[in-house]
Structures are given as C-alpha cells and as structure tokens.
Homo-oligomer: A and B are copies of this chain.
Amino acid sequence: MAERREQRGATAPASVEAFLARIEGMPATLPRRMRQCADYFAAHSDRIAVSTVADLASGAQVPPSAVMRFCHILGFAGFSDMQRLFRAAFVPGLSDYATRLRNLRDQGSGSPAALLAEFVEAGRSSLESLAKMTDDAMLGRAVGLLAVAQTVHVIGLRRAFPVASYLAYVFEKMEIPAMLHDGIGALDHRSALRVGDAVLAISFAPYSEETLGLAQQAKTRGLPVVALTDHSTSPLAGTADVVLTVQEVDFGAFRTLSATIALALTLAVAVGSARE
C-alpha cells in the first residue's frame, strides 16, 4: 500500500502547465481508455473545473471508473484532487481564501497581526488577478482617449475617492491638467466640462449617483468617458467609451484597493508618457 502510493502519488502535477506537459509526455502505448482520457482532457482542460466525473467520462466516451483510474495514474488522490488544481487556477487563491476566512472567524482571532496577514494576502491576490485579467487593448484605448484631452476630469466618491484623489495628485505631478470632482460643498462643477476634455469616472457597487451623473453629462456633451469599475455590466459601462474592470479580493467587508490603485496609476503614468 505504502509503496503503491509512493509510486503513483509522488508525481502529481502542481499546475495546469505541468498537467498538460505530463499528458503530452505520456507514452504512445497507453491503454486504450487511458489514451481516450488523455486526449479528451488535453483538448478540454478548460472544462475540468466545471465538470463532474460523469460529464467528462461521457465526453471522453469512457466509463466513470476509467476517469478515476486516469486521475490516479497522473498522481492525484482522486478526481476532486485534480479538479482542485483547475478551480484554483481560475481565480487565484479563491478556495484557499474562503477557507482561511472561515478559520480566522472560527478561532475568533482578531489579532492585528493576523488581520495584517489577511490584508496583505488579499492585496496580493487582487494584484495577481489584475495582471491576469486586464484587457490590454482596452487599456491602450483608455490611454489614447485621455492622452489627447485638454483637461482630464476625475471623479470618484466614497470608496473610490482615495483612488480619484491619488490620480489627481499624480496628474498634477506630471503637469497634466486635471480636475478632481469631489462633492465638496455640493458645488456642481459640471459646467467645467469643455469640448476637448475627457472624463475618468471611478465607481464601484453601490454606484454613487454623482459619479454616474457626471459621466452621463459628459456623454451628452460628446466628451469621451473612461470608466474604472468593478464589472463590465456596471451602470457606468453604459455611458463609457472605454470600460476598465478591476476586481478586488475583499476580506470581510473591506478592500485593500491595491489593484484599483495599481491600475489607476498605470493609466496616469501611461497618459503622462503619451503626452510628451
């Protein structure tokens, strides 16, 4: 038993790439059903995360037990073990993260050091997923629109306000004409929107009225609008010419803003360098 486990278990792939490489490197003399599994899994590796044993078995036209045998051959403890690899690869740290959250709550551990570790981890995950998911083409178009604007109007309230204010700071540093629309004094500054300007609107659920309003106003006047928001179906997306989405991993009700700021900063610096 022990040596049998050794023989099969020592070598389970640790990433999707390793998994595919392993299949690739399998001998051509593989038993018939195993060959079918190998071919089907390689061709449809993206479905593994969301399929059941029965689904894959019928797809590969083998009985479920053949799928199990194949998982064992690859070195996994079972199908679930293999599936975990694919689920984790989609959005990094998700399942692990949910578990950790539960653990933390269970042990009632509110110690500052533990909290810090959580926020650091949340920030790292957010940055990773930002790097993975950002649409380069969209980013390029956003830079293009803002680079030719006379004045960039930045708006972001509530949770988005720190991001907006940092953008305003960075634009100023780079001597790019920018105006921060903060709601101070309930003064309305929408008449500051002039032909040739562009709007950069930042908002997350629950979206604030003022931000949506300013974006709408800009759109009505024919000014380009770049949205930085949490989802491509957000209400901002409707009025924006370019939509950049960013997902922050949250810990409890709190978000670190790491990814949002990284994206905002990228935008600002790219615009700065494009204007020179």
List chain A positions with a Cβ less than 8 A from chain B: 15-17, 20-21, 24, 39, 42-47, 49-51, 55, 58-59, 61, 87, 89-102, 104, 110-113, 115-117, 119-120, 123-124, 127-128, 130-134, 136, 139-140, 143, 158-159, 161-163, 165-166, 169-170, 173, 184, 205, 230-231, 233, 235, 247, 250, 252-254, 256-258, 261-263, 265-267, 269-270, 273-274
Contact B115 A270, beta carbon cutoff 8 Å: yes
25 intermolecular pairs with C-beta atoms under 8 Å apart: A15-B96, A20-B231, A43-B247, A43-B250, A46-B91, A46-B92, A50-B87, A89-B96, A90-B92, A104-B136, A110-B273, A110-B274, A112-B140, A113-B134, A113-B140, A116-B139, A119-B265, A123-B123, A124-B127, A158-B169, A161-B166, A162-B163, A173-B253, A257-B261, A258-B262
Complex formed: what's the CA distance from A102 to B119 in Å? Answer: 25
- Chain B residues whose CB sits within 8 angstroms of the CB of A104 once the complex forms: 131, 136
Contact A262 B132, beta carbon cutoff 8 Å: no
Task: Tell whether A254 pairs with B269 under 8 Å between CB atoms, given A101-B59, A123-B262, A132-B93.
Answer: yes
User: Interface majority SS on A: helix, strand, loop or mixed?
Assistant: helix
Task: Tell whether A233 pairs with B90 under 8 Å between CB atoms, given A117-B131, A261-B261.
Answer: no
